[in-house]
Amino acid sequence: MKRRELLSLCGKSAIALGCAGLPGILLAQRRFPAKALTYIVAYTPGSANDILVRILAPELGQQLGQSIIVDNKPGAGGSIGMAAVAQALPDGYTLGLGSTATMAINRALYKNLPYDPLRDFESVVKFASTPNVLVVPAASPVKTVKDLKPRGGKSLMFSSPGNGTTQHLAGVMFSSEAKLATEHIPYRGPAESVMAVVSGEVDFSMASLPSALAQIKAGRLRVLGCTSLKAPSSLPDAQPLAEQGLPGFERTEVWFGLVVPSSTPKDAVQVLEQASVRTLASARIREQLEQAGYQPADPKSEGKFDPFVREQVAFWADLVKRAGASID
């Protein structure tokens, strides 16, 4: 073979090899995720939503090979933050935490909700749920649910993190089922609502367990019952309300799941789903969630949760109507 032919053959081979490697290079450039992700939390730091995300985000970021920036955007019952998720570029880099309030309650509560929970999001994986707990001040003489009665002809006052929140509506349901005359006192957030009970400003609250757990452990709050059908592992002595003659409260449990804007590419959703499943499979993460008051979800049976959201929308719409709650 002549030298010129040999050089020509080598050149063609090099081009062929280069072209063969080109799709791999382009694939690597397109691989998701290729940069940091933003996780928008629609509530204040210290809320049940925020605590959950801050437990999950480091491990989820490690599974994805990228850092996750937690961005709190509170306001309007979570509507501001969730609207930001719905309006974000649907490229998989903006994550949202769908929850009972933002995905189910707000649709009935706000006449001009800036997003549609059934249209603007795609569910990825359900992360966890947590019960609400019926709490009274530790100094209160009230020891059981039956002891919780108005005195001196006055209505009992109960706190919540705001009008139309899960805790507000669960409190309304409790008042109705227990046949109690009550007055709802809304506060600016979960921490303020819990501290109102601790200080005795109000008589009781249906508080989210993660928001109240520290005060319960410190002996400043007494737990009269929980909305779950069995006591949470972080509070094994809590007696379910169903066992105290008040069934149906398990439907008021607070739940959380990863959502992304609709039209997010399927391959990105799949990557997020797989990383989330691996995160929930971590024994360390599950232990952290349980210690903080959450019940980790089973991703095999509670992955895509769109049908569950639709059922919850109908349930909470009825309770909002019963409560006469309205924001607009």
∠ at Cα 195 (190, 200), nearest 5°? 135
Average pLDDT, the chain: 88
Distance (Å, whole) CA 242 – CA 180: 17
pLDDT greater than 90 at residue 47: no
pLDDT for the residue 155: 95
pLDDT greater than 70 at residue 30: no
Q: What distances in angstroms separate CA 105 from CA 73, 162, 225, 236, 314, one per listed residue?
A: 18, 13, 23, 29, 9
Describe the crossing of helices 48-64 and 266-281 by its angle, rounded to 10 degrees: 110
Q: Structural domain of residue 110, as residue ranges? A: 37-129+253-323
Minimum mean pLDDT range among 162-171, 216-225, 236-245, 256-265: 162-171
Furthest CA-CA distance within the chain? 111
Taking the CB of residue 87, how many other CB atoms lie within 10 A of it? 13
Q: Does any domain span residue 193?
A: yes
Distance (Å, whole) CA 48 – CA 51: 5
Q: 141 and 239 in one domain?
A: yes
pLDDT greater than 50 at residue 14: no
Tens of pLDDT, residue by residue over 195-231, are 999 999 999 999 999 999 999 999 999 999 999 999 9
Count CA within 13 A, CB hemisphere, residue 165.
31
**What does the pLDDT average to over 236-246?**
95
Domain tally for the chain?
2
Q: Does any domain span residue 24?
A: no
Q: 117 and 79 in one domain?
A: yes
pLDDT for the residue 308: 83
**Is residue 266 within 8 Å of 51, Cβ to Cβ?**
no
pLDDT for the residue 303: 57
Retrieve residue 147's tokens: 């002891």
pLDDT for the residue 26: 35
Q: 144 and 108 in one domain?
A: no
pLDDT for the residue 22: 40
Q: 234 and 144 in one domain?
A: yes
**Is residue 207 within 8 Å of 170, Cβ to Cβ?**
no
Q: 166 and 118 in one domain?
A: no
Q: 141 and 124 in one domain?
A: no
Tens of pLDDT, residue by residue over 290-310, are 999 899 998 776 656 778 888
3-state secondary structure (DSSP) of residue 36: coil
More confident site: 286 or 327: 286
Distance (Å, whole) CA 175 – CA 6: 90
Distance (Å, whole) CA 292 – CA 105: 24
Whether the link from the prior residue into 33 is cis, omega within 30° of 0, is yes
pLDDT for the residue 190: 87
3-state secondary structure (DSSP) of residue 98: strand
Distance (Å, whole) CA 89 – CA 222: 45
Choose one of 244, 274, 308: the last residue of a domain.
Answer: 244
3-state secondary structure (DSSP) of residue 298: coil
Say what the pTM is. 0.78
Share of the chain above pLDDT 70, in %: 89
Choose one of 244, 263, 287: the last residue of a domain.
Answer: 244
Choose one of 244, 279, 303: the last residue of a domain.
Answer: 244
Q: Does any domain span residue 276?
A: yes
pLDDT for the residue 324: 76
Q: Are strands 156-160 and 132-137 parallel, antiparallel or unpaired?
A: unpaired
Q: 184 and 138 in one domain?
A: yes
Q: 125 and 265 in one domain?
A: yes
Q: 149 and 240 in one domain?
A: yes
**Is residue 35 within 8 Å of 93, Cβ to Cβ?**
yes
More confident site: 109 or 222: 222
**Is residue 182 within 8 Å of 157, Cβ to Cβ?**
yes
Tens of pLDDT, residue by residue over 63-99, are 999 999 999 999 888 999 999 999 999 999 999 999 9
Indicate the pLDDT class of residue 326, thresholds 50, 70 and 90: low
Q: 153 and 238 in one domain?
A: yes
DSSP secondary structure string for all residues of 121-152 = EEEEEEEEEE-EEEEEETTSS--SGGG----T
Q: What is the CATH number of the domain that holds 188?
A: 3.40.190.10
Q: 191 and 138 in one domain?
A: yes
What's the burial of 18, exposed, middle or buried (CB within 10 Å: 0-12/13-18/19+)?
exposed
Q: What is the CATH number of the domain that holds 118?
A: 3.40.190.150
pLDDT greater than 70 at residue 20: no
Q: Does any domain span residue 288?
A: yes
Alpha helices in 180-221 (DSSP H): 190-198, 209-217
